[in-house]
Amino acid sequence: MDKLIINGGKKLKGEVQISGSKNAALPIFVSTILAPGLNTIGNVPFLRDINTTIKVLESLGADVEGNGNIVKINTAGINSHEATYDLVKTMRASVLVLGPLLARFGKARVSLPGGCAIGARPINLHLKGLQALGAEITLEHGYVEAKAKRLKGARINFDISTVGGTEHLMMAAATAKGETILENAAREPEIVDLGLILNRMGAKIEGAGTDTIKIQGVSELSPVNYSVMPDRIEAGTFMIASAITGGDIKIHGMKLEHLDALVFKLQDAGVEITSRDNVVRVKGSKKMRGVNIKTRPYPGFPTDMQAQFMALMCVAEGASVISENIFENRFMHVSELLRFGADITVEGSTATVKGVKKLSGAPVMATDLRASASLILGGLAAEGTTEITRIYHLDRGYESIEKKLVGLGADIVRVKE
């Protein structure tokens, strides 16, 4: 098992390129089930979750071939409608194959995804939506079994905003008979990206990125070439890396408009952010100010940036209040940040962070993907040496993060334990 060793206290300087979005690539890969033939997907990040999705597609009978950041997925030969527990248990997003398999074959059998370290993420809204489209669904022996000769359009109002549920039903409804309207739909940029590739395949989808999405079902979809959007969470993490080290970096390949809520809070904290010719420059301040955040569905402050922002607030002047409104167990990084000498108290879904003059390097353990990033940020800012174990979480969502940080002047190495 690998670990990271960081000698902190170095200001980051230089330029970094943002990789393709993991959260956009996963449903895009799954959408190729609906378009039998050779689909070519570009700007794909090298990540564990991507490899898991490839294994799921190959288990269904797809032929997948990677060359650099381009992945070719031939779904013409898919001959199975079942995704087993062994694959689905390792990544929740695997359950998204249910709708496309059902739409293509009239039946699907997919394992329930199980638990998640950062809290419960039930798929009841996914299943309720598929039933509204005419699917007959049964739950047996830990599997969802769905049947429908052809799905039929329906009006579906989500009880809560759900990214996975919105993506799932967009795919399922793309070839359903008639019109489907998704109300209280999630608005994330990754959903816009999915809508773009589905429309390029021949779907008729309007409103992706708003809370009302209209889908006119078509009889079939065709394979396409498509390039995945940049990863806004990776971009946000590097923005905070510059801020927390008092650095000055230029970020290529990101879309600043995807991170408005984070940008506003960073500027409130004293970070200087400018954009020119599609390059974003982020300069840290000698005196950071504590600011409050509340995580919300997009376009609110992203829950996937909460842990990283908390690390920044650990060295800001004054106090900040961080409210987590998306996942119930997303403060697991707090106990590890305390090992750096941070001053954080948690009460329910709210954490109060009092800035300290300095953090001290320490041995820490990653508990989930974004917690891993917050510990790297803490280690970059801390005096002395930090060791981060269980970094396999990190490899789920950040492509070569330590190499990119080294390119910015960080003293960070990956070693085998």
Q: Which two tokens stand for residue 310?
A: 């908390």
Q: How far apart are CA 404 and CA 245, in angstroms?
A: 15
Least Cα distance to 372 among 358, 389, 352 occurs for 389
Specify whether the CB–CB gap between 377 and 237 falls below 8 A. yes
The answer to whether the annotation marks 92 as part of a ligand binding site is: yes
Written as one string, the DSSP assignment of 154-192 is -EEE-SS--HHHHHHHHHHHTTSBSEEEEES----HHHH
The answer to whether the annotation marks 326 as part of a ligand binding site is: yes
Q: How far apart are CA 373 and CA 172, in angstroms?
A: 34
- DSSP assigned state of 210: B
Q: Which two tokens stand for residue 360?
A: 């001290």
Radius of gyration of the chain (CA): 22
Question: Does 314 qualify as catalytic in the annotation?
Answer: no
The answer to whether the annotation marks 191 as part of a ligand binding site is: no
Q: Which of 15, 17, 114, 116 is catalytic?
A: 116
Q: Which two tokens stand for residue 231?
A: 């990863």
Q: HSE of 241 in the Cβ direction (CA atoms, 13 Å)? A: 31
- Annotated binding-site residue numbers for UDP-N-acetyl-alpha-D-glucosamine: 92, 304, 326
- Catalytic site positions: 116
Binding-site residue positions for phosphoenolpyruvate: 22-23
